[in-house]
Amino acid sequence: MKNFDKLSVEYLIFISGQENFCDTENAFNSLLMTNSKVKIKKNKYSFDNFEVNYNIELNPVENNIERVFNVLFECDDKKDADKFSELISSFENILGNLDTKGVKFGKIWDELSLYYGIMAYPEINYVENLMRKLITKFMAKFGTEWTEKYVPDKVVESLRCETDDLDENEETQKNFGIYSLYEIDFIRLEDFLFRKYPTAKEDEVKKIVKNIEKADKIEQLSLKDLKEAYVYKSNWERFFSNEIGCTQNKIKIPWRKLYKLRCMVAHNNTVNKEDYENITQLVKDLKVILNKALKKIGDIEINPEIKDSVMENTYLGEEFLKGKFINKYIELNNFLNEHFNDVIAGNTKTGHTLTVARILYLNKYIDVEIYFKIKDIQNFRNGVVYGMVSYTTDDLKQYINTIDYLITNFTKNPDFGRNEESNFS
C-alpha cells in the first residue's frame, strides 16, 4: 500500500487558440495569479497562504497551434491533505473559468484522490458489514429454512468458488447458509430490507377478490385482509420503522448515496475532500440507525400467519423473477411438446412454442383465447431476452402465474381450452 508521506497531483493542460496566448511558462503562471490568493515563486505555489512544491513544463507540440503544459503539485505532509485539496480545487476553478478560451485539462496522477479513497474505504466497509449483521440476525428468526427454500439459484451461483488444489475440471460449491449473506453484493443487501411486497398469497388474494365481488357493504369486508392483499410494505416498514422511529427513506436514501460514493472509491474514480466528508457523514448517520435496529432485533416478533410470505418475498428481486420467468417459459415449451406430442409429431420439427400453439389451434385442441395467451407469453419472453420491452416485477409474476395456470389446467382437464371451430388465417 502507498505510504503517504507526501501527496502529489499532476496535470496535462492543453491551450489552443491565438499563437501568442499563454505561450510560455511565465505567461501561464501569470494567468493563474489572476486569482489574488495565488502566489508563485520559482518552485513554490501558494493559495491562501498554504504553500506546496510546484513544477511546470511547456512541452513542444508539432502543430504549433496548441500548447501543452505539464503541471505537478506536491504536498510534503499528508496532514495537510485538506488544505492541499482546497488548493487543487482553486487551481481547477481558475482553469475551468478559462475553458471557453480553449483551455482543456485533466489529471494524469492523483494521490490526493487515492489518499481520500483509502481513508474512506474502512468507513464504508464497517457500515456495510453492520448492515449484513442486522440482516443476518433478522433472517435467523426464520432458521435455515429460509436459505434452503427461498434464496435464488443466481445468488447461490454467485458464491461458487474454485481452488488451486482441485483437479482441472473439478469445482466446489459453497453451501449457502445464513452466514453467506456476508458475501452478497453491497447494493443487493437493500432488497432484504427495503423491497416492498404484500403478505397475502395468491390464493388468498383470489379469495379476497371474490369477497369484494359478493359484498354489498364495506362492513362485509375485512380491512386487515384488504391491507394484506393490496398494501405493499417492506421488511423495514413492517418490523423496524416503528420500533426505532425511523422511516424507510431515512435509511434507504443515505444507503443509496453511500453506494454511489462506494462505487467511486472501488472503481478508482476521483474522490475529493467533499466526497470523503459526505462518506463519513453518511456512515455516521447509518451507524446510529443500524445500531438502534440491532438493539431492537430481539424484540421483533414474526406473526406465524405471514412468516412464509416474508421468507418468500425477502429476496424475490427482479433478476430472480426474470430467471424464474425464463425457466417457466422453457417449462411451458417442453410441456406443450410432450403433452401434445401425438398432435404435433407430423407437423413441426422445431418445437417452437408459438408454432406448437398454432398447430394446436388449427387442430381444435385450443381456442383462440388460449392461443393468444401463449402468443402473448412468447412476445413477452422475446422482449425480456432481447431487451426490447420495459417491465416490472409484477409483470414477471403475472406471466409466471399465467404459465402455471395453463400447465395446471392442461394437466387436470383434457378438454381445457378446446376449440370447436377454427378460422385461423
80 secondary structure, DSSP code: G
Closest CA to 126 of 260, 258, 275: 258
Using a pLDDT cut of 90, give the percent of the chain over it: 40
* Type of residue found at 304: P
Co-location of 178 and 326 in the same domain: no
44-80 pLDDT, tens per residue? 999 999 999 999 999 877 777 788 999 999 999 999 9
HSE (side-chain half, CA atoms, 13 Å) at 58: 14
Neighbours of 401 (CB within 10 A): 12
Asked if the model's pLDDT at residue 270 lies above 50, the reply is yes
Domain boundary among 294, 313, 332: 313
Closest CA to 236 of 193, 196, 293: 193
Give residue 140's pLDDT band: very low, low, confident or very high (50, 70, 90).
confident
Measuring CA to CA, how many Å separate 306 from each of 166, 194, 311? 44, 17, 9
Neighbours of 28 (CB within 10 A): 20
> Using CA atoms, how far apart are residues 58 and 8, in angstroms rounded to an integer?
19
Question: What is the residue range of 257's domain?
Answer: 128-197+232-313
In-domain check, residue 418: no
Co-location of 148 and 290 in the same domain: yes
Co-location of 251 and 162 in the same domain: yes
Between 109-118, 135-144, 245-254, the lowest mean confidence (pLDDT) is in: 135-144
Co-location of 297 and 392 in the same domain: no
Asked if the model's pLDDT at residue 161 lies above 50, the reply is no
In-domain check, residue 405: yes
In-domain check, residue 419: no
Co-location of 65 and 192 in the same domain: no
1 versus 403: which is more confidently predicted?
A: 403
Give residue 425's pLDDT band: very low, low, confident or very high (50, 70, 90).
very low
Co-location of 188 and 271 in the same domain: yes
HSE (side-chain half, CA atoms, 13 Å) at 120: 31
The C-alpha cell that represents 312 in the structure block: 418468500
Domain boundary among 101, 118, 149: 101
Give residue 342's pLDDT band: very low, low, confident or very high (50, 70, 90).
confident
Contact 8, 109 (CB under 8 A): yes
Asked if the model's pLDDT at residue 170 lies above 50, the reply is no
> Using CA atoms, how far apart are residues 342 and 329, in angstroms rounded to an integer?
21
Co-location of 374 and 333 in the same domain: yes
Co-location of 158 and 273 in the same domain: yes
Contact 160, 171 (CB under 8 A): yes
Per DSSP bridges, beta strands 7-16 and 44-47 are unpaired
Contact 406, 356 (CB under 8 A): no
Domain boundary among 289, 313, 337: 313
In-domain check, residue 207: no
Asked if the model's pLDDT at residue 1 lies above 60, the reply is no
State the pLDDT at residue 334: 87
Name the helix (H) or strand (E) containing 135: helix 111-139
* Type of residue found at 239: F
> What is the number of residues in the chain?
425
> Using CA atoms, how far apart are residues 74 and 225, in angstroms rounded to an integer?
67
89 versus 22: which is more confidently predicted?
A: 89
Co-location of 309 and 173 in the same domain: yes
CA angle 329, 196, 149 (to 5 degrees): 55
Residue found by looking up cell 479513497 in the block: 117
In-domain check, residue 135: yes
Between 267-271, 383-387, 412-416, the lowest mean confidence (pLDDT) is in: 412-416
Closest CA to 363 of 350, 345, 338: 345
Q: What is the pTM of this model?
A: 0.66
In-domain check, residue 379: yes
Quote the number of domains for the chain: 3
Neighbours of 315 (CB within 10 A): 20
402-413 pLDDT, tens per residue? 999 998 888 877
In-domain check, residue 53: yes
Task: List the beta bridge partners of residue 8.
Answer: 74
Co-location of 259 and 283 in the same domain: yes
State the pLDDT at residue 196: 80
Asked if the model's pLDDT at residue 181 lies above 60, the reply is yes
The C-alpha cell that represents 142 in the structure block: 426464520
Asked if the model's pLDDT at residue 274 lies above 50, the reply is yes
State the pLDDT at residue 171: 43
Task: List the beta bridge partners of residue 51.
Answer: 46
> Using CA atoms, how far apart are residues 301 and 307, in angstroms rounded to an integer?
10
Asked if the model's pLDDT at residue 152 lies above 60, the reply is no
178 secondary structure, DSSP code: G
Asked if the model's pLDDT at residue 174 lies above 60, the reply is no
Contact 331, 407 (CB under 8 A): yes
Q: Name the packing angle between helices 368-385 and 353-362 (round to 10°).
A: 170
Supply the CATH number for residue 30's domain.
3.30.70
State the pLDDT at residue 217: 76
Contact 400, 328 (CB under 8 A): yes
In-domain check, residue 227: no
List the end-to-end C-alpha distance of the chain, in Å, as a whole number. Answer: 71
Co-location of 181 and 269 in the same domain: yes
150 versus 184: which is more confidently predicted?
A: 184
The C-alpha cell that represents 111 in the structure block: 494521490
Co-location of 180 and 277 in the same domain: yes
Give residue 203's pLDDT band: very low, low, confident or very high (50, 70, 90).
low
Mean of all residue pLDDT scores within the chain: 81
> Using CA atoms, how far apart are residues 59 and 216, in angstroms rounded to an integer?
86
63 secondary structure, DSSP code: T
